[in-house]
Chains A and B, each alone.
Chain A
Amino acid sequence: MSDATITPPREFLKPPVTEVGVLGWLHSNLFNNWYNSLLTILVLLALWQVVPPFFSWTFIDSVWNTPAEVCRDIDGACWSIIPKNISFILFGFFPDGQQWRPGLAMVLLVGLVVFSADRKRWKKSLGVYWLINLVVMGTLMYGGVFGMPVVETSQWSGLPLTFMLSLFGMVAAYPFGVFLALGRRSKMPAIKTLCVIYIEMIRGVPLISLLFMSSVMFPLFLPEGVTINTVLRAQLAIILFTAAYIAEVVRGGLQAMPRGQFEAADSLGLNYNQTMRLIILPQALKIVIPPSLGILLSAFKDTSLVVIISLYDVLKTTKVTLSNPKWTGYSTEAYIFLAVLYFVCCYAMSSYSRRLEKELHTGR
């Protein structure tokens, strides 16, 4: 124990500066070998070429809220196209002075979606809130009461139309999709064949062909004198399309159910309906919540296709704005605005779906 007295008071050696702090992080993440160092330098050079010009185009040389004439003389982005046309881009042909109605409806919808995101609130009462909200939103949009003038569905356009087509497309398609999935797993050959043909056929063709069907073929199907407006027909096409994809997702959930669940239900003497309703579907549908959100996400993106059959969703209203000679030539700015709008919605949905997947993964 005499050694201890001889050794001078020890100074703890700090790790080298290249291994901790900012330098350490740089060393281990960007410059850990010659190859990565080279890569980092090349990427930084490329970014240096792209980012500063883009930045000055976007923020420095740009104008934000000026008349269209000012834009002709500047080098940067003309963001003025957005604030000057925002009410048409968002709400389309909804009558002037009444646009607070779709605005309020959108706020209610987004509020409720955010409210529903918390899993602690997934109770029966949430369904009631949704029903009430839908009625309120429908009243706000359609009007006819409390002194609000009636606005026909043909005038519903812009963002409300985008939200409506995707949300109702999903909600109405879900039960249909579940039936298709059950039918596909059925032991009855005729039912199974019908469902397989439907699902595979719809999944095999592009959505645009169904939208064409709704716009040019559907009127031929109806008896003389009966017409359905374009928005509803497009909605129907989106429902029929989405249902096939939901069916495949739900089928995945059904297939993931262990045989023991079916056998246990059988041994309890439950019949087919009871087995499905009480045992299988509650478990299977829980598994497929995240992929279902994925379908809602693609339905949301796909509604932009209604542009092609001349429905005024938010993409079409933007295109109409751009066809105004005053604002022609600022497509990049307008499309970037829309891209940001879509990105915010879709990114929120996809990251929520990923979080939910982790939370719901309770293991077996």
Chain B
Amino acid sequence: MEKKPSIAADTELRPSAAPFFRDPAKRAIIFQVVALLLVALVSYYLYANTQANLERQSIATGFGFLDKEASFEIGESVIEYSAADSYAKALLAGALNTIKVSFVGVVLTLFLGTFVGIARLSSNWLVAKLAAGYIEVMQNIPVLLQLFFWYAIFYESFPSPRQALNPVGGVFLCNRGLIFGVPEAHAAHGMMLWAFVAALAIGWGLHRWGASRQARTGQIFPAAWVTLGFCIMLPLLVWVFAGAPTAMDIPELRGFNFVGGVTVSPEFSALLLGLVFYTAAFVAEIVRAGIQSVGRGQVEAAMAVGLRPGQVLHLVILPQALRVIIPPLTSQMLNLTKNSSLAIAIGYADFVAVTNTTINQTGQAIEGVALIMIVYLFFSLSTSLFMNVYNKKTAMVER
């Protein structure tokens, strides 16, 4: 006998309101509130301890110390700095030193890394194996050890200024660093720099115009070559019109050291060498992977439609390889910047080293560490901002 479901049974089957701990939405809220509370509690606990400790050691909090006199010297500085200046200025000098070594390091690393990466793919067995050996050795030795190594080379293996090595005229290599001659300061140099910037601006305009003309008419405009011409010719013209100053500031040995010229300190050189050789190994692997990521079919197809080898590289291989190369490359550049903080171990006055001295003198540990973190976070966040923009611009348009 068939039983008809009664109305009573029907209501029983209808889902009743679940208790709140079985409702995923409500549970999620409770979970998050608990997590936030925990974080707040731990923070408060640490904060309270810190306050108590600071009071006991009578350390003032806040950034008031920045205005006080630093009273320590900095080995080398981009800006004028003396021990009588404030901590703020000392920190600025340190930050500029970090930027200096990172910038030079990034430029050199890009060149060396690209070179080694291409050499790794060379059809010449010897060159390819040497590049592979370089990559393996450099990647597998801690960068700090490499820094110590280069620093020791400068201090132990290079002669004193009196016996300085003199590989090329006007260039000296000794345990005081690398010293070389530069053109004497002249008003023309500033103007030449502006001419160079103007040439770049013109080049950018030409590139835009050339691209739009190519889109309209199909005619190709060699913007890169024209820009290169402008970049060389404009500063050269300015130089000639300014009277072609050729006076050089050549270093000279007086007493125990060199006078004149530009000195690159052993600290800076060791830091630069270590960072560049280490990071270039990683860049080389990235470049190799990027080039190999472009399928052979792409090259064959480009050749089949009649592009010249230069065009194949410029129009087909590079745009695709760069999409693979750029993201890991920027993170390597960022690594180089972060690793430049190892400067402290060999006595180059970068931001971390100066902050460390400041912490030791003032006892403002929290503010000091916070400053270090803020400065490096600024670098990395601006880099990832750039990366996001780049990724959006070059993202592959898929069907």
Give the shortest distance, in Å, between B152 (CB) and chain A (any CB).
3
A343 at the interface (CB under 8 A from B): yes
Among residues 38 to 94 in chain A, which have CB atoms less than 8 Å away from a CB atom of chain B? 39-40, 43-44
Q: How many residues of B contact A (CB 8 A)?
A: 57
A315 at the interface (CB under 8 A from B): yes
A283 at the interface (CB under 8 A from B): no
When C-beta atoms are compared, the residue in chain A nearest to B143 turns out to be A301
A332 at the interface (CB under 8 A from B): yes
B344 near A220: Cβ-Cβ < 8 Å:
no
B144 near A304: Cβ-Cβ < 8 Å:
yes
Q: Which of B35, B49, B377 contacts A204 (CB 8 A)?
A: B377
Q: In the complex, which residues of chain A have a beta carbon less than 8 angstroms from the beta carbon of B127?
A: 39-40, 43
When C-beta atoms are compared, the residue in chain A nearest to B278 turns out to be A301
B187 at the interface (CB under 8 A from A): no
| B 285-304 binary contact with A (CB < 8 Å = 1; else 0) | 00000000000000000000
Consensus secondary structure, chain B interface:
helix
Known contacts: A43-B127, A188-B32, A213-B369. The answer to whether A208 contacts B359 by CB under 8 A is: no
Bound-state CA distance A159–B33 (Å) is: 45
Give the shortest distance, in Å, between B60 (CB) and chain A (any CB).
14
Bound-state CA distance A200–B377 (Å) is: 9
When C-beta atoms are compared, the residue in chain B nearest to A204 turns out to be B380
A279 at the interface (CB under 8 A from B): no
Bound-state CA distance A266–B32 (Å) is: 22
B123 near A331: Cβ-Cβ < 8 Å:
no
Q: In the complex, which residues of chain B have a beta carbon less than 8 angstroms from the beta carbon of A194?
A: 35-36, 39
Bound-state CA distance A187–B123 (Å) is: 51
B54 at the interface (CB under 8 A from A): yes
A29 at the interface (CB under 8 A from B): yes
| A 189-226 binary contact with B (CB < 8 Å = 1; else 0) | 11100100000110111101100110011011111100
Q: Which of B136, B341, B359, B368 gathers most chain A CB within 10 Å?
A: B341
Bound-state CA distance A44–B122 (Å) is: 16
Known contacts: A221-B46, A339-B145. The answer to whether A307 contacts B345 by CB under 8 A is: yes
Q: Which of A308, A335, A346 contacts B140 (CB 8 A)?
A: A346
Give the shortest distance, in Å, between A358 (CB) and chain B (any CB).
16
A208 near B32: Cβ-Cβ < 8 Å:
no
B239 at the interface (CB under 8 A from A): no
Give the shortest distance, in Å, between B318 (CB) and chain A (any CB).
21
Q: How many residues of A contact B (CB 8 A)?
A: 52
B124 near A308: Cβ-Cβ < 8 Å:
no
Q: In the complex, which residues of chain A have a beta carbon less than 8 angstroms from the beta carbon of B65?
A: none
Bound-state CA distance A336–B148 (Å) is: 11
Bound-state CA distance A332–B146 (Å) is: 11
Give the shortest distance, in Å, between A90 (CB) and chain B (any CB).
16
B344 near A208: Cβ-Cβ < 8 Å:
yes
Q: Which of A201, A209, A219, A304 gathers most chain B CB within 10 Å?
A: A209
Q: Which of B39, B54, B344, B373 contacts A201 (CB 8 A)?
A: B373
Bound-state CA distance A346–B135 (Å) is: 13
Known contacts: A208-B344, A223-B49. The answer to whether A329 contacts B156 by CB under 8 A is: yes
B110 at the interface (CB under 8 A from A): no
When C-beta atoms are compared, the residue in chain A nearest to B380 turns out to be A204
Q: Which of A208, A302, A350 contacts B142 (CB 8 A)?
A: A302
A352 at the interface (CB under 8 A from B): no
A216 near B359: Cβ-Cβ < 8 Å:
yes
Bound-state CA distance A70–B123 (Å) is: 47
Known contacts: A29-B124, A206-B376, A332-B156. The answer to whether A224 contacts B53 by CB under 8 A is: yes
Known contacts: A188-B32, A208-B352. The answer to whether A29 contacts B125 by CB under 8 A is: yes
Q: In the complex, which residues of chain B have a beta carbon less than 8 angstroms from the beta carbon of A185?
A: none
Among residues 84 to 121 in chain A, which have CB atoms less than 8 Å away from a CB atom of chain B? none
Bound-state CA distance A43–B366 (Å) is: 53
B153 at the interface (CB under 8 A from A): yes
A274 at the interface (CB under 8 A from B): no
A30 near B31: Cβ-Cβ < 8 Å:
no
A233 at the interface (CB under 8 A from B): no
Give the shortest distance, in Å, between A217 (CB) and chain B (any CB).
5
A221 near B31: Cβ-Cβ < 8 Å:
no
Bound-state CA distance A338–B126 (Å) is: 27
Among residues 81 to 138 in chain B, which have CB atoms less than 8 Å away from a CB atom of chain A? 122-127, 130, 136-137
A331 near B31: Cβ-Cβ < 8 Å:
no
Give the shortest distance, in Å, between B27 (CB) and chain A (any CB).
10
B141 near A220: Cβ-Cβ < 8 Å:
no
B35 near A308: Cβ-Cβ < 8 Å:
no
A224 near B52: Cβ-Cβ < 8 Å:
yes
8 tightest A-B contacts by CB? Answer: A331-B152, A346-B140, A29-B125, A204-B380, A190-B32, A206-B338, A216-B365, A301-B142
In the complex, 19 of the A-B residue pairs with CB atoms within 8 angstroms, ordered by the A residue number, are A40-B124, A43-B130, A44-B126, A194-B35, A194-B39, A204-B379, A206-B352, A208-B341, A216-B368, A220-B365, A224-B53, A308-B344, A331-B156, A335-B148, A336-B149, A339-B141, A343-B137, A347-B136, A350-B140
Q: Contacts A206-B352, A220-B50, A335-B145 given; 6 further ones with Cβ under 8 A?
A: A39-B127, A205-B376, A216-B365, A304-B142, A343-B137, A346-B140
